[in-house]
Structure 1
Amino acid sequence: MTDIKMIALDMDGTLLNDNKEITSWTKNQIRKAQHAGITVVLCTGRPFPHCHTYIQDLQLHSHSITCNGGQIYAVDHSVMIEHLFDTATLANLYHFAQGLGMNTWTISTKEAYYNDLPENCSAYQWLKFSCSHKDEEVLNKMAEKVQSIDGVEVSNRTAFTVEVNPTGVNKAAALEWVCEKLGITMKHVMAIGDSLNDIKMIQSAGIGIAMGNAQKAVQQVADAITDTNNNDGVGKAIEKFIFGGE
């Protein structure tokens, strides 16, 4: 056994395979870690309602970090911390992205909107903005727009998407907050992820693991690289680095 007391797991591209499932073998490794007294925390860009069934399936009794650190949930699923957009900024980003012909997802504390915003936008509290396009030039224009606006930053970027959160909101900062509540440090955390929004938590963790399918920038900063999300990469990392398996 290592001195790891918490496992922080990204979801899409990491814990979940391409069918958005957790395999039985990986579930068993997670439960084995829990039985050994290790806390397992989901740390995802998803909003909480899109995590809940997985939390139930894994029988997790821990904090949850959602929207790239935009919200932190307690064990009883109540909101402990949330970081909100300025509404005018959110609307600005939405209209700019729509003008570029991008698809958009705007996530509020109530629900998510796809290619739309409610008429009474200012009556909502906004957590995260995401947009997608197949053209890299369009994505670059969107990223430049984000950089020109005070109070927000690109929290994740893939070949097709740009995700935006308030400045300073990220998974690592959220994990540090949870660790402080639990009386441990990031040295006691093993963090596993595949995307740019996972880099800071992988760098900050005692053991930072990149998935075999992770973006190259993620693999370059990780302590180790596990198998892919379609080949039990999370389960294999737990087996190797927590329980000393090969």
Structure 2
Amino acid sequence: MKYKLIAIDMDGTLLNSENQIPKKNKELIKKATDRGIKVVLSTGRIFPSALHYARFLEIETPIISCNGAYVAEHDSSNIIYENPISIESSKEIISLAEKRGIYYHFYDDTTFYAREVSKTVENYYKLNEVMNEREKINIKIINNPIEILEKEKPLIYKFVFVKDNEKELLDFRKEVSNIKGVEVASSWWNNIEIMNKGVSKGKALEELCKMLNIDTKETVAIGDNENDIPMLKTAGLSIAMGNGEEIVKKIANKITETNDESGVGNAIEKYII
């Protein structure tokens, strides 16, 4: 099979433990693009964060962000697909999180909303220091999220909830899953991610392939966690990271090395190039 598109997750996949792109990953991505293969970043992150890494890789292809809720051209001039959470569902989600006292943040295409300055917020502040103006993330620390929803009516693409207590996080997941019109996933052992119903990286990949006139059988997906599973199931060839969750490894066609061992570069070299 001659593959035409590679969709690559970022955290735990393309990026190593230091949030850097290993040299071999970059080199093999360049080889793939030189052969006319489109390389697409597919991440749970907010769009500008993915854009920053896409520019480092020197790829100018569409980006799947917010777990598939927002897909746009690299310069955001053309929104290919978007599916935000309704304001009413967002209010229910926030009320439940406030009741349980669980940390959360949410975002639209460029603005990151948080109730407090967390480690994630600090990392984005630092990232903004090295980004150009078009890549910078608008960070808002807010006191009254419900008021923001009612006054500004932002298009919220994703909520993230973080809790190190796994039982409390699981209890919250069960409860929030009962809210009508939401999709629940996870990208790390201590988080829960909520999008609008039907949103996934797999659905986003399908929509992108329609736009590019590429059969999904001609695509490759590489990922490591639960939120990557729909994308891996959609692609013609699915590759799990060596550091990936066992459930991801079970459904993948192939398993490559870990993110600290240039697993992405090795997979492109072995299975695609």
Report the TM-score when normalising by structure 1.
0.94
Among candidates 177, 190, 196, match of residue 160 of structure 1 = 190
d(CA) in 1 for partners of 2:6, 2:110? 28
d(CA) in 2 for partners of 1:242, 1:159? 30
- Structure 1, unpaired ranges of 5+: none
1:1-246 map, 5 Å: 2-78=1-77, 79-115=79-115, 116=142, 117=145, 119-122=147-150, 123=152, 124-156=154-186, 158-243=188-273
Cα gap change, 1:9 to 1:157, in 2 (>3 Å): closer
Q: In structure 2, give the amino acid aligned to 1:70.
A: A
> Offset at 1:88?
2.3
Residue pair 2:48, 2:110 contacting (<8 A) in 1 also: no
Q: In structure 1, give the amino acid aligned to 2:100.
A: L
Aligned-residue identity in percent: 37
d(CA) in 2 for partners of 1:74, 1:32? 21
What is the root-mean-square deviation in Å for CA atoms of aligned residues?
A: 1.4
> Counterpart of 2:60 in 1: which secondary structure?
coil
> Counterpart of 1:119 in 2: which secondary structure?
helix
> Offset at 1:157?
5.1
d(CA) in 2 for partners of 1:189, 1:102? 38
Residue pair 2:93, 2:179 contacting (<8 A) in 1 also: no
Residue pair 1:146, 1:153 contacting (<8 A) in 2 also: no
Q: In structure 1, give the amino acid aligned to 2:83.
A: H
d(CA) in 2 for partners of 1:75, 1:132? 29
Residue pair 1:133, 1:160 contacting (<8 A) in 2 also: yes
d(CA) in 2 for partners of 1:39, 1:157? 24
Residue pair 1:187, 1:205 contacting (<8 A) in 2 also: yes
Q: In structure 2, give the amino acid aligned to 1:174.
A: A
Query: Could you list the per-position Cα deviations for residues 102-153 of structure 1 after superposition, in whole angstroms to 9, with x for gaps in the alignment?
Result: 2101112341112343733232221101101011221112211222111002
Cα gap change, 1:235 to 1:110, in 2 (>3 Å): closer
- Structure 2, unpaired ranges of 5+: 116-141
Q: In structure 2, give the amino acid aligned to 1:41.
A: V
Which of structure 1's runs of 4+ aligned residues deviate more than 4 A? none
> Offset at 1:75?
4.4
d(CA) in 2 for partners of 1:152, 1:18? 31
Structure with a larger share of its residues in helix = 2
d(CA) in 2 for partners of 1:166, 1:219? 26
| Number of residue equivalences | 242
Residue pair 1:98, 1:104 contacting (<8 A) in 2 also: no
d(CA) in 1 for partners of 2:260, 2:186? 22
> Offset at 1:80?
2.6
d(CA) in 2 for partners of 1:134, 1:80? 35
d(CA) in 2 for partners of 1:3, 1:110? 35
Report the TM-score when normalising by structure 2.
0.85
